[in-house]
Amino acid sequence: MTEMFDAALAALRQIMTPPFRAVLVKSLGMTFLMLALAWAGLDRLALSFVMVDHPWLRTALAYATGAGLFFLMAFLIAPVSVLVSGLFLDDLADHVEADLYPEGQRGRAIPATQAIFMALRFAVVSAIVNFFALLLLFVPGINAAAFLLANAYLFGREYFLFAATRFRSLQESEELRRRHAFRLFIAGLLIAVFVATPGLNVLTPLFAVAFMTRIHRMLSPKLRSQEAQSDELRRPYR
């Protein structure tokens, strides 16, 4: 558990570095642009169905539509940001692995088609999980817990699979995830607390990649054994 918290602190420090800040600016810009375009289109579409001649009533309906769209956009920001940031995750993981692994032992970029599939799956699953978590917000006593537990499973699963798939096949990554399901749930819980913190939630993809890359290294004895062998080979003879 101590090693996991150390990994989280190291990830927090790394997301403040220039490569991560550059990705943050690009992903946030693309996310808000997509949401703004969606807002404009949905607002125009909704008002086109309003057949009211009274100006005051039309204005009231326009405000109600705007309020509804605001909550819709607030709900969509998580899956959309996940989808957009998926375009840059390989670059971020490469920066993290450069600090963790010896030269020549870092992971490989995920093929474009597989990366797109994983990002789309993650975005869809994120939308579904958060939709049900949103419904449970109206149930006293379990609302916050439902949000945290649902996102702990989601983030622990998907970000670990991304980190692991850079080193092994998707099937092998799934087997490793199942073998360490509880530890990954705890790691996902840390990410869920991160995403539930206002102001920090926009940094979630950056933190999750830096964190889960370290968690994957922690749960991969073979990789750590290879690192030790590389260190031994690089050590000067006495």
Decide: 4 and 187 in contact? Cβ < 8 Å: yes
Whole-angstrom distance, CA of residue 185 vs CA of residue 187? 5
Look up residue 43 and give its DSSP letter: H
Q: Helices 55-85 and 112-136: crossing angle, nearest 10°?
A: 130
Kindly write down the DSSP assignment for every residue of 115-174, as one continuous string: HHHHHHHHHHHHHHHHHHHHHHTTSTTTHHHHHHHHHHHHHHHHHHHHHHHTTS-HHHHH
Q: Give the number of other CB atoms < 10 A from CB of residue 199.
A: 6
Residue in 212, 217, 171 with CA at minimum distance from that of residue 189: 212
Rounded Cα distance, 130 and 59, in Å: 31
pLDDT of 55: 67
C-alpha to C-alpha distance for 28 and 20, rounded to whole angstroms: 12
* Nearest to 130, CA basis, from 115, 142, 116, 148: 148
* 167 neighbors 220 (Cβ within 8 angstroms): yes
- The pLDDT profile of the chain, 238 residues, written as one tens digit per residue, is 788 999 999 999 998 888 888 888 887 787 778 777 777 777 677 666 656 566 666 666 666 666 666 666 666 666 676 677 777 888 888 889 988 887 778 888 888 787 778 777 777 777 777 677 667 666 666 767 777 888 888 889 989 998 999 998 889 999 999 999 999 999 999 988 887 776 677 788 888 999 999 999 999 876 655 554 544 434 443 4
Count helices and strands in the chain by DSSP H and E runs: 10, 0
Q: What pLDDT sits at residue 231? A: 46
Query: How far apart, in whole angstroms, are the C-alpha atoms of residue 35 and residue 202?
Result: 14
Residue 187: per-residue pLDDT: 94
DSSP string, 8-25: HHHHHHHTTSHHHHHHHH
Cα–Cα distance for residue pair 175/154, rounded to 1 Å: 16
pLDDT at 151: 83
Give the pLDDT confidence score for residue 234 in this predicted structure: 45
